[in-house]
Amino acid sequence: MRMMKNSHQVYELGYHIIFCTKYRHKVLDGDVAVACRNSIAETCAAYGWGLEEIEVMPDHVHMFVTASPQTAPAEIARTVKSISAVRIFTQFPKLKGRKFWGSGLWSPSTYFGSVGHISEETVRRYIQTQKERT
């Protein structure tokens, strides 16, 4: 992860995001997995998010994404899940009827983890010793 900046901010923000297919159906394989990966990569590029790593498993997706402070991790997940579901169901219409009748592709649950180059302990120690530094 590299340091980014804009006119008023300097940041290094990365998120590990995991989301699953509804009912944990193992449908993300072969062409569906390729379509999922491509959709997520295109969405991240279109929104200006850095897709550092991605792994599409049969029933879930792992993403490592970097974004500006204005972008909430929940917004990233919501956008990626929404756009990828529409594209996958458009490319593979039988999938919707077979496993996901009347519902979306993704489970509403999502895991978010922050990724950084320094540990929690380092941040705590830095904050606790601020008065000693002045």
Q: The domain spanning residue 9 has which CATH number?
A: 3.30.70.1290
Q: Is a pLDDT exceeding 70 seen at residue 87?
A: yes
Task: Report which secondary-structure segment, H or E, holds 84.
Answer: helix 73-91
User: Average of pLDDT values for 30-53?
Assistant: 97
- Give the C-alpha distances (Å, rounded to integers) separating 62 from 24, 98, 122: 14, 24, 27
Closest-CA residue to 6 (of 86, 67, 78): 67
Nearest alpha carbon to residue 59 among 38, 32, 86: 32
Query: Would you place residue 83 in the very low, low, confident or very high pLDDT band (cuts 50, 70, 90)?
Result: very high
Bridge-partner residues for 114, per DSSP? 15
Say which residue the tokens 């593979």 belong to.
Answer: 92
Q: What gap in Å lies between CA 118 and CA 122, rounded to an integer?
A: 6
Task: Check pLDDT > 90 for residue 103.
Answer: no
Query: What's the confidence (pLDDT) of residue 116?
Result: 83
- Whether 15 is catalytic is no
Q: Which of 23, 47, 111, 126 is catalytic?
A: 126
Q: What is the mean pLDDT of residues 93-101?
A: 83
In which band, very low, low, confident or very high, does the pLDDT at 78 lie, cut at 50, 70 and 90?
very high
Counting the structural domains of the chain, the total is 1
Residue 91, domain extent: 4-133
